[in-house]
Structure 1
Amino acid sequence: MEWLTLPLSFPFMRDAALISVVVAFPAGLLSCFLVLRGWSLMGDAVSHAVLPGVVLAYVLGAPLIVGAFAAGMVCSLASGYLQQNSRVKQDTVLGVVMSGMFGLGVVLYTSISSDLHLDHILFGNMLGVGPEDLRLALVIALVVGGALVLKWRDFALLAFDPVQARVSGLRVTVLNYAMLAMISMTVVAMLSSVGIILAVAMLIAPGAVAFLVTRRLAAMLAVSVAVAGFGALIGVWASFWLDAAPAPTIVLVMTAAFVAAFLYRTAASRRAARA
């Protein structure tokens, strides 16, 4: 059994596994609502848009996490405002805002001389996380996860029937911006682990897998969190033996889970059609 436990005998591997499981909780819950609402690109947009905030925070001597959250909120609020006050469709708005802010971040990064490692920002530095990263991720996971658990019925109604949600007296605009804020916070939690580019996989893949194998929202939420958590653990464990970076390995594990879920659903549909 040594092959199973050896990776976690190293402190940096335990920290990597711990932070990946912590961020998997809010990411798994959010993933369901992003998939149901067709907001998959929103997670991608926010994860890319935090780059200029990180660079500006470094220049000003502020915590990088503060800059990342500020930039993520600017992207989220700007996207929401443009979508509600223009005829431009959501995917177009997200594409413009995301590419613009990511381009700004790259220009800012190349225009300054620093020891800031762009690859750690883009792809994460899971093997180098410290106590502060773990504490921040845990606080964000508790805040975002707690909000979603307490208000999941409101977010569910908004996802399935926005008109009914408004008629029922729900503050739809507040819920929309709360969802955007939680996406930004979750991306910030994942900044030091999976990084900017790979954060979108953690925000989309678990919900997509759960959507294929479940029929009730409560079950979908549970399956999504389980997929995110176990996918993170297996990815970290496998990365040790593959001598690969943990974050991309986690993404590959979740992609494999999605393919398996798709094949399972396809086979089940064919059996039902023949019956």
Structure 2
Amino acid sequence: MDIETLLMPFRFGFMLNAFYISMLVAVPTALLSCFLVLKGWALMGDAISHAVLPGIVLAYIVGIPLIFGAFAAGMICALATGYLAGNSRVKEDTVMGVVFSGMFGIGLVLYVSVETNAHLDHILFGNMLGVEPHELWTAGAIALLVSGALVLKWKDLLLHSFDPAQARAAGLPVNVLHYGLLAALSLTIVATLSAAGLILAIGLLIAPGAIAFLLVRRFGAMLVVAVAVCLFSMLAGTYASFFIDSAPAPTIVLILTALFVAAFLRRVWLTRQAERRQV
């Protein structure tokens, strides 16, 4: 292809908005994914991403901005999961499965019972090519807030992720860190609604951290690599979707999956090389 064809996606306003939203949500999702991977909260991200649906529908019915309903539903899911796991014999992953499936079911029931012109596909799978200016501003504000908080408190959050008991003994506000991380997770999912939707948001919240975890050994480097991987995947997936006539969000997730497989194979190869040298 000639240079004119390669630059064609940048001539359309809807493609430029897709690139902008990609860059905005890449940083907070990548940073947060590192903590979710270390803390073993992959299911928590999945749970909250599904649980915000009833909040979105109720916000639409009441007539308030959808982000408020999504954030409130996400926090209710997180708090309910923590309470049920702490006051029952059921393990946390089981509780999360019950809570998020129940809230997702409530959201679907509410949606089909209300007459609306809103497209459920856009809520579930995102609508990057239809991003509006106010959504860019919302995503940018959330990205700045979440990214700034994670960068400023990453050492405290790292200790809390590895050993909450040690963090409490060191005098850190464990409860503030715990619920602050949940709030950051809920806000980040709200920011990714326009980009990846509810279902595919979990890919952005897990895959970059998992890939970086396989590539590096220091947490500071893990944060940088995760952001680079997520930013590359978001931009490359959006760009490639223009030429292969596919939706940007699933294309992005496919690129992240391919990078994860490549990182895993590299780690297996390095491990076998180290074993051979020892022999």
TM over 0.5: yes
Measure the CA separation in 2 of the matches of 1:227 and 1:36. Answer: 17
The one-letter code of the counterpart of 2:249 is A
> Residue 87 of structure 1 corresponds to which residue in structure 2?
89
Task: Say if 1:64 and 1:266 are closer, same or farther in 2 by CA, change over 3 A.
Answer: same
Name the structure 1 match of 2:188: 186
Whether 1:156 and 2:158 are equivalent positions in the alignment is yes
How many residues are treated as equivalent by the alignment? 275
Name the TM-score, length of structure 2 as normaliser: 0.97
Q: Does 1:147 align with 2:152?
A: no
Q: TM-score, normalized by length of structure 1?
A: 0.98
Structure 2 residue aligned with 1:256, among 247, 255, 258?
258
Segments of 4+ in structure 1 off by > 6 A?
A: none
Give the drift of 1:64.
Answer: 1.3
Q: Which moved more, 1:107-116 or 1:198-207?
A: 107-116
Deviates more, 1:202-211 or 1:156-165: 156-165
Question: Which of 99, 102, 113 is 2:101 aligned to?
Answer: 99
Q: Residue 65 of structure 1 aligns with which residue?
A: 67
Q: Secondary structure at the match of 1:177?
A: helix
> How does 1:230-245 map onto structure 2 within 5 Å?
230-245=232-247
Structure 2 residue aligned with 1:130, among 129, 132, 138? 132
Secondary structure, aligned partner of 2:251 = helix
SS in 2 for 1:247: helix
Structure 2 unmatched ranges of 5 or more: none
**How far has the Cα of 1:36 moved from its partner?**
0.3
Cα displacement string for residues 163-192 of structure 1 (whole angstroms, at most 9, x for unaligned residues): 211110111111111000000000000011
Deviations 1:54-94 (CA, angstroms, capped at 9, x unpaired): 11111111111111111111111111222233322111111
- Cα distance per residue 1:11-30 (max 9 Å; x no partner): 11111011011101000000
Structure 1 stretches of 5 or more lacking a match?
A: none
The whole-number CA distance in structure 1 between the counterparts of 2:249 and 2:72 is 24
Aligned AA (1:149):
V
Task: Report what 2:56 is aligned to.
Answer: 54
Give how far 1:2 is off.
Answer: 3.0
CA distance in structure 2 between the aligned counterparts of 1:25 and 1:240, rounded to whole angstroms: 23
Q: Mean Cα displacement is larger for which, 85-94 or 225-234? A: 85-94
Report the alpha carbon displacement of residue 227 of structure 1 after superposing the two structures with TM: 0.7
Where in structure 2 are the equivalents of 1:217-228 lying within 5 Å? Answer: 217-228=219-230
1:144 and 1:5 map into 2 onto residues whose CA distance is 32
